[in-house]
């Protein structure tokens, strides 16, 4: 009796063919996933090494600053706009339009994503924002490699990746700034436009315009794509309609935000009012002239005091000069990037040159990423090395100032 019971238990515990096959299939799937990841890591080893090295440098700068300036590492990584994005993710928008600095001055998608990721990280919004930007910066580096390889070749692409990762504006991938997701969204949209996949590009544009207002520079890209399709295939309207659809989908991102503000605060212009009155933001063709005039007054030897000199104005004028020089080399002797990428660059250049509060600083220049990588195409090996060395020095100095206090914006 007992022997029969033992035999029965052994038979009950014996794995069936289906159980064994199922376990084996899981092992095979796991093995394939591992091989796929390993293959991807090995094929992108150079990109990963450069990107991680640049982030290690940023972290080292922040840690040294925190030690020397007796500041908190968390406050450095969330300095400037990071404070507002974290506040928006934790408190949302006020219910009434206000004419001073509030969360109304910032678009919602980045903070929404931070809130969502923070739910997986014990509610820590700072870590969520940094994780998002680290991943976003890595994705943008991979997309940049794909874009530049398509425009030229792999060797120039590697140069471009190095310049991109060690450009002073790359600090935004180590801080809580919306460009951490804006730039990869735009790069992805440009890559899709080049492949004439307009509706998918429009979806990325939707999230981009819900992230930052300068993403509206993608609209001219889609409009030029529509004109291209109109000229190329006058009898075929499917791609034309998709290009127009991309415009509508992209505009829906910021339009839905305006409608939501209208319902929530009573006016669709609540964000504009916060920026205009709270941050004194406006657009004028004389923006650089006004900034230069203010800077000249600060350098007046009648009341000279270097402590009162606003470094942001110096960076603005230097950035404008950089922008104009490299924009010229971008098209001479011929255009060295795709037309969609060039249109995007012109759009960001126009917005930065006419903005009273957001001039061509490193953050705006890296958003117009084709400008940053011009040296990868144009410079000889010696000139490239010198340019890279200067860029790294500026990165260290400017990042040190940006992390601590409010003397220099990213």
Instruction: Please write the tens of the pLDDT for every residue from 121-159.
Output: 888 999 999 999 999 999 999 999 999 999 988 999 999
Predicted local distance difference test score (pLDDT) of residue 29: 62
In the prediction, which pLDDT does 24 show? Answer: 55
Confidence at residue 10, expressed as pLDDT on a 0 to 100 scale: 43
Query: Which pLDDT belongs to residue 241?
Result: 86
What value does the mean pLDDT take over residues 338-349? 96
Residue 164, pLDDT score: 97
Nearest to residue 177, comparing CAs of 310, 97, 76?
Answer: 76
The domain ranges of the chain are: 44-282+380-403
> Which of 333, 344, 332 shows the shortest CA–CA distance to 370?
344
Which tens digits make up the pLDDT trace of 247-306?
999 999 999 999 999 999 999 999 999 998 998 888 999 998 888 888 887 776 555 555
Residue 25 is predicted with a pLDDT of 56
**Cβ 329 vs Cβ 378: under 8 Å:** yes
Examine the pLDDT at 351 and tell me if it is beyond 50.
Answer: yes
pLDDT of 302: 59
Answer yes or no: pTM beyond 0.75: yes
Instruction: Give the pLDDT of residue 342.
Output: 96
Q: How far apart are CA 38 and CA 41, in angstroms?
A: 5
Instruction: Map tokens 């005091």 to a residue.
Output: 305
Whole-number pLDDT of residue 130: 95
Convert the pLDDT of each residue in 236-249 to its tens digit.
667 888 889 999 99
Tell me the per-residue pLDDT of 358-399, one tens digit each, with 9 for 90 and over: 889 999 999 999 999 999 999 999 999 999 999 999 999 999
Query: Alpha helices of 119-175 — where are they, by DSSP H?
Result: 125-151, 154-165
pLDDT of 9 reads 44
Average pLDDT over residues 103-121: 94
67 confidence band (pLDDT: 50, 70, 90): confident
pLDDT band at 5 (very low <50, low <70, confident <90, very high): very low
Indicate the SS3 state at residue 355: strand
**pLDDT digit string, tens, across residues 9-61:** 444 444 444 443 444 555 556 677 777 788 878 878 899 999 999 999 999 99
Query: What is the distance between the alpha carbons of residues 255 and 209, in angstroms, rounded to a whole number?
Result: 9
The H-assigned helical ranges of 176-237 are 179-194, 198-209, 218-232
Name the percent of the chain lying above pLDDT 90. Answer: 64
- According to the model, what pLDDT value does residue 404 have? 82
Strand partners, 20: none
What number of residues does the chain have? 410
- Residue pair 157/145 in contact by the 8 Å Cβ criterion: yes
**The token pair that represents 394 in the structure block:** 């500026």
* pLDDT tier for residue 120 given thresholds of 50, 70 and 90: confident
In this prediction, residue 305 carries a pLDDT of 53
Q: Which of 168, 185, 143, 171 is nearest to 322 (CA)?
A: 168
Distance (Å) of CA 166 to CA 13, 150, 249, 390, 398 = 60, 22, 34, 10, 12
Residue of 48, 7, 46 whose CA lies nearest to 137? 48
């Amino acid at each position: 009796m007992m022997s029969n019971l033992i035999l029965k238990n052994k038979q009950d515990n014996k794995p069936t063919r289906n159980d064994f096959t199922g376990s084996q299939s899981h092992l095979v799937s796991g093995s394939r996933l591992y091989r796929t990841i390993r293959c991807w890591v090995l094929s992108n080893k150079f990109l990963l090494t450069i990107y991680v090295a640049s982030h290690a440098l940023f972290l080292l700068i922040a840690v040294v600053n925190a030690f020397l300036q007796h500041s908190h590492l968390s406050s450095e990584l969330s300095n400037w706009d990071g404070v507002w994005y974290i506040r928006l993710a934790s408190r949302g928008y006020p219910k009434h339009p206000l004419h001073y600095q509030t969360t109304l001055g910032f678009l919602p998608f980045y903070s929404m994503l931070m809130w969502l990721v923070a739910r997986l990280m014990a509610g820590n919004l700072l870590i969520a924002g940094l994780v998002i930007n680290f991943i976003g910066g890595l994705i943008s580096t991979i997309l940049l490699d794909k874009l530049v390889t398509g425009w030229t070749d792999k060797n120039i692409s590697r140069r471009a990746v190095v310049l991109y990762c060690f450009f002073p504006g790359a600090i935004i991938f180590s801080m809580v700034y919306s460009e951490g997701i804006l730039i990869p969204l735009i790069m992805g949209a440009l890559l899709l436009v080049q492949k004439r996949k307009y509706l998918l590009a429009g979806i990325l544009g939707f999230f981009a315009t819900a992230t930052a207002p300068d993403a509206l520079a993608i609209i001219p890209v889609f409009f030029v794509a529509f004109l291209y399709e109109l000229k190329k295939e006058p009898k075929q309207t499917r791609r034309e309609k998709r290009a127009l659809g991309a415009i509508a989908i992209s505009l829906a991102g910021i339009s839905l935000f305006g409608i939501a503000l209208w319902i929530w605060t009573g006016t669709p212009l609540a964000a504009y009012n916060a920026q205009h009155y709270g941050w004194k933001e406006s657009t004028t063709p004389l923006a650089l002239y006004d900034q230069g005039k203010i800077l000249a007054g600060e350098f007046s030897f009648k009341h000279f005091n270097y402590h009162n000199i606003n470094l942001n104005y110096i960076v603005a004028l230097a950035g404008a000069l950089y922008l104009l020089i490299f924009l010229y080399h971008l098209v001479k002797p011929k255009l060295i990037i795709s037309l969609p990428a060039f249109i995007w660059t012109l759009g960001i250049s126009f917005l930065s040159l006419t903005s009273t509060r957001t001039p061509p600083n490193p953050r705006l220049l890296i958003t117009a990423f084709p400008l940053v990588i011009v040296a990868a195409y144009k410079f000889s090996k010696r000139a490239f090395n010198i340019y890279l060395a200067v860029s790294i020095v500026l990165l260290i100095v400017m990042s040190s100032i940006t992390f601590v206090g409010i003397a220099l914006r990213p």
